[in-house]
Chains A and B, each alone.
Chain A
Amino acid sequence: MPTREYRGHLVSVNDEGFMTDSGQWTREVAEAIAEEVGLTPLGERHWQVIDFCRQDAAREGQPPGLRRISKLSGVAMKELYELFPKGPGKLAARLAGLPKPKGCI
């Protein structure tokens, strides 16, 4: 399992860059990951989504899917795509230190 250093914090990640231990997450780590993916600076609305994802994952035991985020975080789908371009579900989970949301088959 590769390890990366984000602002002095060593974190374990998988080969797609998702953290494998959400206990290693800090807000500084999130900011560094945001920098890495070209998503800076993180604004208040980004944090609203990231905080929701972390709280929801702690409750439910799995990262929320995109529809769940748009329904419950207070940030609507259109804005999610503006805040986290391309794949907001995947990107928000990555910034929140959570696994990639599982696909439904």
Chain B
Amino acid sequence: MKNLVILGAGTGGTTVARRLRRRLPAEWTVSVVDPEPLHLYQPGLLFLPFGARDEAKLQRPREKTLRGVRWIRQAVTRVDPDSKQVVLAGGERLGYDLLVVASGARTVPEETAGMLGPEWGRSVHEFYTLEGALALRGALAGFERGRLVVDVVEMPIKCPVAPLEFLFLADAFFRRRGLREQVDLVLATPLDGAFTRPTCNRVLGHLLESKGIRVETEFATQEVDADARRLRSYDDRELAYDLLVAVPVHSGAAFVEASGLGNELAFVPTDPATLAVKGHDDIFAIGDATDLPSSKAGSVAHFQAEVLQENLLRAVRGRSLAPGFDGHANCFIETGFGKAILIDFNYETEPLPGRFPLPVLGPMRLLEESRLNHLGKLAFRWIYWNALLPGRPLPVTTRMSMLGKKRPAIGHDATEKGREHAHP
């Protein structure tokens, strides 16, 4: 018997497990290790702070999402690549022939001085966990005047547009309640603009400006003074807030660090095209767990899953790996008032205007606000549970397509420069 072991049952781990179970030769067993009994639909967290009450629909039992797959409900202590074993929290060892690290990213608010403390969950919040999003829902319901600061502490983060979406939705939320004049909305970011890619940065920058949302750029948070309600940056700037919505530092899983498989933030150094873990020919990585410069987002994990499926099957047959992943990401950006922007890009090509997935016909518009894009975002939840996780085909190509996209008339900054955009 041969064993494919997958560490983590989030978006990437689940879809790879279900795809491979159907495709591996009969002597292979697929096992997934994850201690958590429920699968969380993370994109849904964004709407909870603004009064959405559908939290029950954001979680499904893993018995269902992992149907047909052997599920080991335990935490991982470490991986021992030399003996090809995974050490489980209970002390047992699980041997593998092929291993997939799909353990995602987690927020580590303890990395920032002063963030955790008596004000955590009161005037200092986050929306990357279910508890955090629900606590923030309570805080926003009672917030009637003052300054709300969204602070991105450090890159990379899950879904790099989420902090912007949060502010667009906050703008709409306070307008609807007739409170917008009394609420000051500020984004503090370590980047030198609202987003990481130039063309998209311009569109989103204009949108922020038109909604009266101020951006404090190159703000590298040193500490939160929760008593005085102030952020302090490493270059000694101060930013006062009444309500802080932090996007804490993100890190890979603790076992990644304990196994020596991670970089300085415990993300796994991964080949950007084949998804093999650097230095190991029997370990692969997918999704937020990797150190790749692609977005940490569900759509990316989906596109990676198609490439990883192919390469795991090649590894089983002893064939060379296919360099199939191009960094493709496809994201809906909620802009408030029932509208959204759709962006589609990869390692080399930044988000461009046009139609998606077909030229002229669309029906979606790229890099432009529309109601249909918003409906697309809402429909995505159904697609996530019923097609993406089980590994059924989606009507989007794995590699980014230039069909329907309009290249800018002058200059090359839409392609090459996108990758150079940097944080401090």
Contacts and interface: CB of A to CB of B under 8 A. Distances in A.
Interface string B260-293: 0001110000000000000000000000000001
A89 B155 contact: no
Interface size class on chain A is 20 to 34
Contacts of B423: 65-66, 89, 101, 103-104
Contact of A90 (B235, B293, B419, B422): B422
Nearest to B200: A105
Given A100-B422, A105-B294, A67 B154 contact: yes
A102 interface: yes
Interface in A7-51: 16
A103 B191 contact: yes
A58 interface: no
Contact of A89 (B329, B420, B422): B422
B304 interface: no
A77 B222 contact: yes
A66 B424 contact: yes
Nearest to B235: A81
Given A67-B265, A86-B235, A105-B197, A100 B293 contact: no
Contacts of B235: 81, 85-86
Which of B154, B293, B329, B423 lies at the interface centre, i.e. has the most chain A CB atoms within 10 A of its CB? Answer: B423
Interface string A67-96: 110011000011011000111111000000
B199 interface: no
Interchain residue pairs A-B with the least CB separation, the first 10: A104-B156, A87-B424, A81-B234, A105-B196, A103-B422, A104-B155, A68-B264, A103-B421, A103-B196, A71-B264
Interface of B: 154-156, 160, 191-192, 196-197, 218, 220, 222, 234-235, 263-265, 293-295, 329, 419-424
30 contacts: A65-B423, A66-B424, A67-B264, A68-B264, A71-B264, A77-B220, A77-B222, A81-B235, A86-B235, A87-B192, A87-B218, A87-B424, A89-B422, A89-B424, A100-B420, A101-B423, A102-B293, A102-B420, A103-B155, A103-B191, A103-B196, A103-B419, A103-B421, A103-B422, A103-B423, A104-B156, A104-B293, A104-B423, A105-B156, A105-B160
